Amino acid sequence: MSDQRLKLAVVTGSVREGRFGPVVAHWFARQAEQHGGFDVDPVDLAEFDIPLELPATPPAMDPDPQRPAGLAGLARRLREADAVVIVTPDYNRSFPASLKAAIDWHHTEWATKAIGFVGYSGASGGLLAIEQLRQVFTELQAHTVRDYVSFPRYYLLFGPDGTLLDPQGPEAAAKSMLDQLDWWGSVLHDARGARPLVSERK
């Protein structure tokens, strides 16, 4: 297994005005930096122009998809990542349309990558979104790790400055997930070099 630090993209999935996602993403990115196994790249989907409508030939069926120019930076950063953490709320028992569009505009960028989740919402803590996202990423041949971080009633858990009022539990959950991402991300990184998927071979 490689001893090098993995590239970890922390993706903020909500783009709507007044969103809380950046607060949660910033907290988690700090946990990942403190873990020591990752070079952390915060990726905010609000910074990219992500069309909701896919082209006639979806990226999943196109070996060289032609994406809008506004997606070039996002595609590059996802491609360079060894592991990805999705920070998501749940909207109406699912995840945001912006996040689904970002996923669907890419395909090989997700394959054989380790994926983790940080959820937040009023009651479920994002678990409804996370369970659906696990199915989506399985279809894309990514590996979702078992553990996750969840913030039910997040508005009661963070102070005005974005720090957690009682950090012990979430910090332990974050470390457990990061340990799993480190292991799986390293194994998959080495496997992509030694034995890439047939579908990835040119």
How far are the Cα atoms of 12, 20, 79, 117, 151 from residue 88, in angstroms, in the given order?
7, 10, 20, 8, 10
Question: Domain limits of the chain?
Answer: 6-200
Q: Residue 87's closest CA among 31, 143, 149, 138?
A: 149
Task: Encode pLDDT of 112-152 as tens digits.
Answer: 999 999 999 999 999 999 999 999 999 999 999 999 999 99
Count of C-beta atoms within a 10 Å radius of residue 14:
24
* Residue 17 φ/ψ region, left for φ over 0, alpha for ψ in the -120 to 50 degree band, beta for the rest: beta
Name which CATH class applies to 6-200: alpha beta
**pLDDT at residue 27 greater than cutoff 50:** yes
**pLDDT at residue 201 greater than cutoff 80:** no
What is the distance between the alpha carbons of residues 105 and 52, in angstroms, rounded to a whole number? Answer: 9
pLDDT averaged over every residue in the chain: 94
**pLDDT at residue 100 greater than cutoff 90:** yes
What is the distance between the alpha carbons of residues 37 and 186, in angstroms, rounded to a whole number? Answer: 10
φ, ψ of residue 65 to 5 degrees: the values are -65, 140
**pLDDT at residue 202 greater than cutoff 50:** no
Least confident stretch, 2-11, 87-96, 173-182: 2-11
